[in-house]
Structure 1
């Protein structure tokens, strides 16, 4: 099919398609499923089966005599051959998740014999994101949890989108009847969007929780905090325990990945206290979170490190991880700490343990940050349709179950018994927080960095500077 404006090209394009299919040995009898070729007035792709969408020659280029250019015929031949040829796509994955992806790739190949997936671990690719994407057809983002902090990682940020490094997947998602965009948790789906377009196909979401030391409460004979606690109540609990603590411990607060900063910043936007909230953080909300964080770090005497918040300064990631593990080891130096749900059994074996969602404010429910893991298609991909089939397939599979990432689709959560398999305490906290969890937008993925906090403490950076909006550099190489 084609538009009236392209009707003059109908005969020549039809003849070329017939000849090309004949050359490839793909012409067959009426028993074959029909192949629909659309000459479209735009560049939008389609994922419909047995449907090929090719832009008008008026968009690609005409010769001086007004005929389709040689480049156009190359494009038509390429589009015709893509669904008919065997191909291999390359896909970047975190090293520690390689085994999971290998099993999924084997299952995918059994169903899609024409497509082979070559997995490349991130440690074998450039660390600079743009260079990484230039070498693969697609990539999986790295889960936001404490255990992979020392491994090479890939995060989709707004500057990569502005640089044109990844493909807009919206048209593929909504033209593919097998994708089912309505079968996603709305909070997780929102985490794959930017400017109301889909750039990342969600696979799962990391929902941090707060662990607390029950032994500290038992020693001080204080009632355990409630599941619906507020920010003010959390500060009151920390204040009470810090005053009642024995001489040999420091019952403070610890957060290895700055999730508290995101949660507190989102708590400053009460007009957005509803599921699927996708608003950007305002400079005022960022500033409020940084001021709050610094008040816990510096303490009333004005000296850094004297407050209840554990924050080792001026150290590298390995030293920070070691310090964080020490704080929450057998002799805990934190009464409360932000942690991965997957670490529940480990900490429970060390000492008695409770689990809470992030606090709420007086106006609305919890604002737990939600980190989306998913997959992107590189703009450098030469096999976009095969890559899309792989991304779609991944969205129907559970990310490594031991990570306790919430499956992106409720249908997958039900099939894998995700919620019912959680320990009761973890399940209660996650179910309480998840309906109002806030997906971290691509523009905020690297907002609160430890180097930034260190600079705020030593005075080389102001809160106003740290909370100001970042300027996107359109169609330029993003900063590493």
Structure 2
């Protein structure tokens, strides 16, 4: 077995400007039989770049699909195949202030709720608080998540709409944006960074003071600067709404792939299958080595979760929210989202949310102008179609010095190790 430096693969001096995800993936699967799932796109699924793992799973008598948590393997499955073997997932859930729900005579939210449920609860809590500085939902997406989710319910899926198809004068967009604008103005949705707030509030502090009803993960510094939870607040946890739109679908996590150009499929499978069962150690505090376990980083295998003590490290309510989110993943993305579409919508909603003097019509007109100009400029030099043609894994360079060579060991602080290694090999 030869370990190929991922730094060497990813830092190609011949690359001109930023590369597409598919181009990066192509370099990875051309240089190594197995690798972490880097540069994965939905277009690559079913292509010659990746080896379908499903036949290898079925042929392995020791492989047990049931050892993976519900939804784990499905997140990397499409077109009749499985294209990566998951190790960890990154999931986000919501927090809510139980006391504020009680004061508003509201039942606590449950898994499976919708964005309409969330907005209704936030509106009722804000209304029950009068004109005080208590807010409904701390929206850290700047309005994009609720906008995209509500629009999908209206039949407009921003995750699959191309820049050439998007028209920002669509009445569904303007009506939904007007609605959200009013919710932000009323404090039902909360955005601390706006033009009319010369001294914006720290959202973490606002949460810690018990003035937010619903929020995602925010940084609340402890005595030594470490993240902590607010004290004196009865906090509940619940998954994001079931109709939440995630443009990147379920491809958030750590997984292993096998190159479609490998000459050693069985050996490659044995290697990544073994790797997926290991608790990989990462540097911890004070130079020690300990498992990294940030919020929402969940082992895909039950055995790894037990080995790391993951479920024992969190409370039952948080565990239930994570399990529901795992079993009910975001819909598989049909294609890679168009970044111009996402950019135009984000620009418009950001203008409306952060500047009270900007009208929805003005924001949409400005965003449409930007979209048209950028799209036209992009078409002057059309982006080439992703190269999904077959690959053959290259023979790695020898990892030992030739006989009689002088060995020099040196450090390269402040320099790119991959570049120094490349120069030394000359």
Count of residues in correspondence between the two structures = 320
Q: Equivalences for 1:68-467 in 2 at 5 Å?
A: 87-90=1-4, 92=6, 128=19, 129=21, 130-131=23-24, 133-135=26-28, 136-137=31-32, 138-141=34-37, 154-161=38-45, 164-214=48-98, 216-217=100-101, 220=103, 222-223=105-106, 225-228=108-111, 229-245=113-129, 246-256=131-141, 294=177, 297-299=180-182, 308-310=188-190, 330-331=208-209, 334-339=212-217, 346-349=228-231, 351-359=233-241, 370=250, 371-379=252-260, 386-398=267-279, 402-403=293-294, 404-438=296-330, 440-441=332-333, 443=335, 451-457=343-349, 458-459=363-364
Q: Judging changes above 3 Å, is the alpha-carbon distance between structure 1 residues 356 and 298 closer, same or farther for their aligned structure 2 residues?
A: same
Deviation at 1:155, TM superposition (A): 4.5
Structure 1 residue 160, shift from structure 2 partner:
3.9
Indicate the SS of the match to 1:167: coil
* Counterpart-to-counterpart distance in 1, 2:122 and 2:100: 11
Q: Give the aligned partner of residue 7 of structure 1.
A: none
In 2: Cα distance, 1:172 partner to 1:310 partner = 49
Contact 2:147–2:177, Cα closer than 8 Å, also in 1? no
What is the alpha-carbon distance in structure 1 between the residues aligned to residue 193 and residue 126 of structure 2?
A: 21
Give the secondary-structure state (helix, strand or coil) at the position aligned to 1:335.
strand
- Deviation for aligned residue 1:121: 10
**Structure of higher RCO (CA pairs closer than 8 Å, 6+ residues apart):** 2
1:187 shift after superposition: 1.3
Please state how far the C-alpha of 1:191 moved relative to its aligned partner.
0.9
CA RMSD of aligned residues (A): 5.2
State the Cα distance separating 1:211 from its structure 2 match: 1.0
Q: Is the 8 A contact 1:162 1:474 kept in 2?
A: no
Retained in 1: the 8 A contact 2:258–2:265? Answer: yes
| Contact 1:216–1:335, Cα closer than 8 Å, also in 2 | yes
Indicate the structure (1 or 2) with the bigger Cα radius of gyration. 1
Residues 187 and 438 in structure 1, CA contact (< 8 A), matched pair in contact too: no
Would the aligned equivalents of 1:455 and 1:461 in 2 still touch at CA under 8 Å?
Answer: yes
Report the TM-score, using the length of structure 2 for normalisation.
0.55
Query: Shift in Å at residue 347 of structure 1?
Result: 3.0
CA distance in 2, matches of 1:449, 1:327: 34
- Alpha-carbon spacing, 1:413–1:264, altered in 2? closer, same or farther (3 Å): farther
Give how far 1:192 is off.
Answer: 0.9
Q: For 1:191, what is the secondary structure of its paired residue?
A: helix
SS of equivalent residue, structure 2 residue 335? helix
Q: Which runs of 5+ in 1 are unaligned?
A: 1-86, 93-118, 142-153, 270-279, 315-321
Q: Are residues 181 and 214 of structure 1, via their aligned partners in 2, closer, same or farther at CA, if it must alter by over 3 Å?
A: closer
Deviation at 1:263, TM superposition (A): 6.6
Please give the alpha-carbon distance, in whole angstroms, between the structure 2 residues aligned to 1:261 and 1:198.
32
| 1:475 positional shift | 3.4
3-state secondary structure, aligned to 2:89: strand
Using the TM superposition, give the Cα deviation of residue 158 of structure 1 relative to its aligned residue in structure 2, in angstroms.
Answer: 1.9
Cα distance in structure 2, aligned partners of 1:451 and 1:282: 14
Residues 133, 211 of structure 2: 8 Å contact kept: no
Report how far residue 208 of structure 1 moved: 1.9
Return the alpha-carbon distance in structure 2 between the equivalents of residues 214 and 345 of structure 1. 21
Instruction: Give the TM-score normalised by structure 1.
Output: 0.50
